[in-house]
Structure 1
């Protein structure tokens, strides 16, 4: 149990391990938005289980001043129809799951409207996920960048999109597991669409 709270990055449809830690944190969570935007992280990508295995969904961002753009200032690019691609991908992967139809009306608007800033898009999705998972948590952001947080557990670099963590994860049913077995630490939507209201008990 993380007793003193933690500082976390704000991800796009975060992985299961992220939520496992989130429900373990009390009482305070601070979300980072003042850092320089790091590339190739879950801040703008998520992994789902496709018929061919792990599939990455990436939210394209407008190229800014390289690594010196603050996360809160990163804008989403709409140069191509990535929302349509993401939503079609989710339907292909999860239409036959037990709970996709139960939740699809909650997620569909996020793939129709255009949000300017990535942090706002991720925050609105996070609020939805917290509600669906029945996790009571206020979304509070850091007002300034701090290199260290003496009174909080710093989890800003605890999750890597480049490799699967070694942490144990109890298998749950996945639509295509007969093809490639259980894939751990996919996006939380994989757990939600497959387990529905039981997702919180799993976490």
Structure 2
């Protein structure tokens, strides 16, 4: 049976620019967000990277340990230990408080951090939906209802976009843009979409547009 999706992605916390570049270039295709997988640690599902005054910084959402070795992604519960919501907002303020568009967007993001979502899936979905709105990026997407076997879909990036050892992706060629600490660290590519949004505002769409190279057909 042919997949209805033009692109497959995992749920993710404030995903990287490469993730949104794929969303921008999917056009009128339908995006499937994988809802039938098991949770995988140390991925963008509960982690994002920002650039602060001390360099690259990972923001990780703590989740509750499950007694089962395999936890369905929609059943992963957020941990309330460590005041992570406050710490993440504080880190974003430190990193981007001086950026051109931080004050413009932060009030639209605060309610999502302040609401006590029980599940990682719901928090990610709320933030993802808001980010699409702030970017003015129109994308048709829905949760998957069955698991597509690995290797059976030409645009399957559920496991290729990851913090460590990402899969080769010749179509993603990150276009440099202004970053608050670029003079200190140089341009750091493929950070969280929050970095691009706070630094570039409405011009973020141009970066997404220009960070893609159409694969050549042999």
Structure 2 partner of 1:179 = 184
Of 178, 188, 196, the residue aligned with 2:193 is 188
SS at match of 1:139: strand
Moved over 6 A (4+): none
> Counterparts in 2 of 1:48-67, with a 5 A limit?
48-67=50-69
TM-score, length basis structure 1: 0.92
Match of 1:90? 92
Query: Residues 157-172 of structure 1 correspond to what in structure 2 (within 5 A)?
Result: 157-163=159-165, 167-172=172-177
Structure 1 position 188, deviation (Å) = 0.3
Aligned match for 2:77, one of 68, 72, 75? 75
* Of 171, 194, 197, the match for 2:202: 197
Rounded Cα–Cα distance in structure 1 between residues aligned with 2:207 and 2:120: 29
* TM norm structure 2: 0.86
Q: Unmatched 5+ residue regions in structure 2?
A: 209-218
Q: Which residue of 2 aligns with 1:139?
A: 141
Number of residue pairs matched by the alignment? 200
In structure 1, distance between residues paired with 2:134 and 2:105: 9
Contact 1:37 1:67 in 2 (8 A): no
Q: Deviations over 1:96-134 (max 9, x none)?
A: 000000001011112211101101100110100111111
- Cα drift, residue 153 of structure 1: 2.0
Looking at structure 1, the residues matched to 76 and 145 of structure 2 have their Cα atoms a distance apart, in angstroms, of 16
Shift in CA distance, 114/136, structure 1 to aligned 2, threshold 3 Å: same
Pick aligned residue for 1:123 from 122, 125, 129: 125
Using the TM superposition, name which of 31-40 and 144-153 deviates more: 144-153
Identify unmatched segments of 5+ residues in structure 1. none
Q: Hey, what does 2:213 align to over in structure 1?
A: none
Distance 1:164 1:143 in 2: 26
